[in-house]
Amino acid sequence: MATPKGKYAWTATVGEKGQIVIPKQAREIFDIRPGDTLILLGDVDRGVAIPPKACFSEIFHTVFDPGEADDE
């Protein structure tokens, strides 16, 4: 079965200390380097996602936009 262009799948093993190793090919494709900070987003129904670094700004603005605060 052909993989759609730009779509990837890898596996990672969780170590005893809860650490995962991101596969080398994924690190290269997404320019992940030692010391980089990653955001992990989680949903109990949909799982965990690690968005690309380029999305950090957009995610922060979405989460912390003062115009979206609940009026309680």
Query: Could you report the per-residue pLDDT of 7-48, keeping only the tens digit for each?
Result: 888 999 999 999 999 999 999 999 999 999 888 888 999 998
* Residue 32 located in a structural domain: yes
- CA dist., res. 55 & res. 60, Å (int): 9
Q: Which residues are registered as beta bridge partners of 14?
A: 20
Please give the pLDDT value at position 41: 86
The DSSP bridge partners found for residue 43 are 47
Please report whether residue 18 resides in a domain.
no
For residues 32 and 27, give the distance between their C-alpha atoms in angstroms, rounded to a whole number.
Answer: 5
In a domain, 15, yes or no: no
Domain count, the chain: 1
Mean pLDDT of 44-64: 83
- Domain containing residue 47: 24-65
